[in-house]
Amino acid sequence: MKIARLTLENNIILAPMAGISDLPYRQIMKRFGAGLVFTEMVSANGLIRAGKRTRELLRSAPDERPLGIQLFGDEPAVLAEAATLVRGDGELIDLNLGCPVNKVVSSGAGSALLRYPAKVARVVAAVRRSTDLPLTVKIRSGWDDSSINYIEIGRIAVGEGADAVTLHPRTRSMGFSGSADWAEIGRLKKALPVPVIGSGDIFCAADALAMLERTGCDGIMIGRGGYGNPWLIRDILALQQGRPVPPPPTPAERLEVARSHLELNFATFGPRKSLLDMRKHLCWYSRGLSGAAAFRTLINHTESLDEMRQVLDDFFTGAEEEA
């Protein structure tokens, strides 16, 4: 798959996810074959104020590249300056035009921009002028049921220089309820001359193939389906290459990857943050194994990383698939 001058090894893309898509998570997903990984959304305002915590989100490592950097903001000039500041931090810039979260929307950013197509044009044009990196936008279907405008927004973005468009086909007011309307991805693909990436509700390898076949989209994005399940990417690659989907990971394989994730997290963030961050990931790695509920309780009460490692080893060493 190609996005402007960037050639990806495959068309499976890790979604930008605030609070999830940090460096260790991206490294794990990359190891399982993701063709492109995205940062969490990064505040353009935070970047130009040289915010340390914002900069921290751009921490990267050679083994995860190519890296897409997602920016959010609402001011064309601020977004353009932020795009200049991240010039050396990744291989692609994406603009967030879809985030439904109140805090982001009330500042005029994320999906709030979908309500102002003329502003979308100014934002994309300003960022396009400020960077020669491949530039993409990520959108939802529209603000609500009565204002579905993804095709208009997609055309505007491409007209102002976007090199690809990702669509999560839910409206802002849907949040994560209902299901993603993949037919909209197909309509967008037909309407645009650039690659279209589909995002939404891919939970197994068959879902991924179904989205590609039904919509004709060029790339697929993995979000919640990858939680505790980087094997999803391996499975999709197998199906795409005409091989059977490999058997699900054994408890020993899960332990190995969960341990590796924990150690990457520790190396990146140190013990305090890792202890908190890894709780959710380790709970996800345990899904579908007998005794997972009791394991979750234990993990959520661990007070040191050594204790966490011990609880992890004890659980997965004796665990079995739930009948």
How does DSSP assign 129-166, residue by residue? HH--S-EEEEEESBSSGGGB-HHHHHHHHHHTT-SEEE
18 has binding-site annotation: yes
Strand pairing class (2-3; 6-7)? antiparallel
| Catalytic residue flag (residue 204) | no
Binding status of residue 138 toward ligand FMN by CB under 6 A: yes
Catalytic residue, candidates 99, 204, 217, 283: 99
Binding status of residue 230 toward ligand FMN by CB under 6 A: no
Tell me which stretch binds ligand FMN (CB under 6 A): 193-201, 236-244, 256-264, 285-293: 193-201
> Shortest CA distance to 261 belongs to which of 11, 29, 9?
29
> In the block, which residue shows the tokens 């001359």?
193
301 has binding-site annotation: no
Tell me which stretch binds ligand FMN (CB under 6 A): 25-33, 154-162, 222-230, 276-284: 222-230
Which residue in the set 90, 225, 228, 230 belongs to the binding site for ligand FMN (CB under 6 A)?
Answer: 225
- Taking CB atoms, the residue at the shortest distance from ligand FMN is 223
Binding status of residue 228 toward ligand FMN by CB under 6 A: no
What CA–CA distance (Å, rounded) separates 69 from 73? 13
What CA–CA distance (Å, rounded) separates 282 from 77? 41
240 has binding-site annotation: no
Size of the site for ligand FMN (CB under 6 A): 22
Binding status of residue 200 toward ligand FMN by CB under 6 A: yes
Tell me which stretch binds ligand FMN (CB under 6 A): 196-204, 234-242, 243-251, 307-315: 196-204
Whether the Cβ atoms of residue 230 and residue 37 lie closer than 8 Å to each other: no
**Residue 143 identity:** W
How does DSSP assign 59-117, residue by residue? ---GGG-SEEEEEE-S-HHHHHHHHHHTTTT-SEEEEEE----HHHHTTT-GGGGGG-H
**x/- string (CB under 6 A) for ligand FMN, residues 97-116?**
-xx-----------------
Binding status of residue 20 toward ligand FMN by CB under 6 A: yes
What CA–CA distance (Å, rounded) separates 164 from 162? 6
Binding status of residue 268 toward ligand FMN by CB under 6 A: no
At 238, give phi and psi (nearest 5°): -60, -50
Q: Which residues are catalytic?
A: 99
The binding site for ligand FMN (CB under 6 A) comprises 15-20, 40-41, 70, 96, 98-99, 138, 168, 199-202, 222-225
